Amino acid sequence: MRTTQSRTLLTATLVFLLALLMLGTALQSLVGDYLTKSAFERLDQDSQVLSDLLSAYHADSTMDGAQFLINLDLTTKVSGIDAVICDSQGRIILSSDHANYQDLRIAKLYLEQIAEAGLSHYTGMLQGLYDDTRYISARAVYAGQSQQPVGYVVASSPIAQIQQIQNRISVIFTMGAIVVMVISVAAMGFFSRLQSHPLQEMAKKARAFGHGDLDARVRITGSESKEVEELAIAFNNMASSLQKAEYSRQEFVANVSHELKTPMTTIGGYVDGILDGTIPPQRHRHYMQIVSDETKRLSRLVRSMLDISQLQSEGGIPEEKMSRFDVAECAGQMLITFEQKIMSREIQVEVDMPECPVYTVAQQDYISQVVYNLLDNAVKFCPQGGTLVLKIKESGSKIYVSIGNDGETIPAEELSLLFDRFHKIDKSRNENRDGWGLGLYIVKTIVGLHGEDISVTSMDGRTEFTFTLPLVE
């Protein structure tokens, strides 16, 4: 399996090779065009000089022929080109690189083409004179007002010379490209390793996290790229969330196991006592009632856990389950259900609600459960002859529902823990078996699903829970 580093290095190498190939091809083309153009320009200049000499010779009848040939020979040697000069019939007058040129001739058809064009450029072979490919510049020579050429000048240079220059340039470019390629690949390998190292570190931490190391985190040094840094931060945040969820799960399982242990032990002990005769028959009804109560409590625990699971799985309240209702009427109905408990404990009730309906849009059954749970706690913890308070008020776009009771002041360090699962302020309540510590957790979950808040205050012997709902007309 290819790594990110190898893929990056391979891709960069291929791109670099392609770039060098394109650059080399373009360079060869440009250099070739430049050298070809320069060769023809030089041939044109030299052929023009020779043409002028030949034209002057024919115009001046007093010029010595031998001296003229000497001048032509000297000119060709100075210019360093291969020059051929012939008369109008194609007979060679002078050839700079042929010792025996007197018997050589240039084809009549070729001379006619030169006469027609005036100046002829082409790359190829000059039959009868040269066997190699050349750059050739040929022109017709006229004397005075004559319309017929008195001769022809053919200047040429081997194309092999230009090819040698191009080959040398190619060799130099190739060597330079190889050196640059080696350095670049080494540099790209180094930097790709630097780039892939954080990803490898992240993969290592992910494997460690997957094997149970919940404290595994990716170290961020600040030298990473922005994208890698963001990925590392996202990984660490995810790991923290999963760690918190795992700790919550472990705590939940531990709490459930602890809470189930006592009633199950009680039920088992009493049933075994009845079966083996340890408990006399006249006490059977008493202990069977205890077993029944414990069974009902277990049933309430299971129901509460199912409620929590359902609430958490919803993730929000669907619009179709929301309805418009009077919060004051809903709270009043819930208060009535506690009438017997309130009267038996001689609790004083203070109700402060607006005289007109207070409407909200929410899931009515859930809000009824919130009010019921808060009232149930308030009644349980309100002392004999104490006071229970139910207040509803409007403020801005919110409805504030407050439920409080007299009793012991809750320590400040305990307030933030009240809404945790299985949290109980009074640990002795485990002996009383009066609750499971899930009621307030369900309350907070329901309020949160509605996008609202709940808070608690406790001072001077008065504890009060307040939650919000949206106010509608």
CB 407 within 8 A of CB 463: yes
Is residue 66 included in any domain, yes or no?
A: yes
Same domain, 19 and 160: yes
Instruction: Give the domain-ending residue among 314, 335, 365.
Output: 314
Same domain, 264 and 329: no
Secondary structure of residue 399 in the 3-state scheme: strand
Q: What is the pLDDT of residue 258?
A: 60
- Furthest-apart CA atoms within the chain: distance in Å: 166
Is residue 160 included in any domain, yes or no?
A: yes
Q: What is the pLDDT of residue 470?
A: 93
Q: What is the pLDDT of residue 98?
A: 66
Q: What is the pLDDT of residue 386?
A: 92
Same domain, 11 and 159: yes
Instruction: Give the domain-ending residue among 119, 134, 164.
Output: 164
pLDDT in tens, 372-402: 889 988 998 899 999 999 999 998 899 999 9
Is residue 337 included in any domain, yes or no?
A: yes
Secondary structure of residue 83 in the 3-state scheme: strand
Q: For the chain, what percent of residues have pLDDT higher than 90? A: 14
Same domain, 302 and 333: no
What is the model's pTM? 0.47
Q: What is the pLDDT of residue 428?
A: 40
pLDDT in tens, 27-52: 888 888 888 888 888 888 888 888 88
Residue 411 has pLDDT above 90, yes or no: no
Structural domains in the chain (count): 3
d(CA 103, CA 94): 11
Q: What is the pLDDT of residue 173?
A: 87
Same domain, 324 and 435: yes
Most confident of 194-203, 345-354, 366-375: 345-354
Same domain, 116 and 144: yes
DSSP state of 145: T
Same domain, 462 and 336: yes
Q: What is the pLDDT of residue 80?
A: 66
> What's the length of the chain?
473
Is residue 451 included in any domain, yes or no?
A: yes
Write out the residue range of the structural domain in which residue 225 sits: 217-314
Residue (of 408, 410, 402, 370) closest to 386 by Cα position? 408
Same domain, 16 and 127: yes
Is residue 178 included in any domain, yes or no?
A: no
Q: Which residues contact 461 (CB under 8 A, 6 or more apart)?
A: 406, 407, 408, 409
Is residue 251 included in any domain, yes or no?
A: yes
Tell me what the mean pLDDT of segment 403-412 comes to: 88
pLDDT in tens, 114-132: 887 777 788 888 776 777 8
Q: 50-58: which pairs have CB atoms within 8 A and are 24 or more residues apart? A: 50/75, 50/76, 50/83, 50/85, 50/153, 50/155, 51/139, 51/141, 51/153, 54/85, 54/141, 54/150, 54/151, 54/153, 55/141, 55/142, 55/143, 55/150, 58/141, 58/143, 58/144, 58/150, 58/151
Looking up residue 372, the CATH number of its domain turns out to be: 3.30.565.10
Same domain, 333 and 263: no
Average pLDDT over the chain, rounded to an integer: 80
Same domain, 125 and 54: yes
Same domain, 262 and 370: no
Residue 430 has pLDDT above 50, yes or no: no
Instruction: Give the domain-ending residue among 145, 164, 183.
Output: 164
Same domain, 255 and 328: no
Q: For the chain, what percent of residues have pLDDT higher than 70? A: 83
Least confident range from 253-262, 344-353, 403-412: namely 253-262
Q: What is the pLDDT of residue 361?
A: 93
Q: What is the pLDDT of residue 273?
A: 87
Looking up residue 303, the CATH number of its domain turns out to be: 1.10.287.130
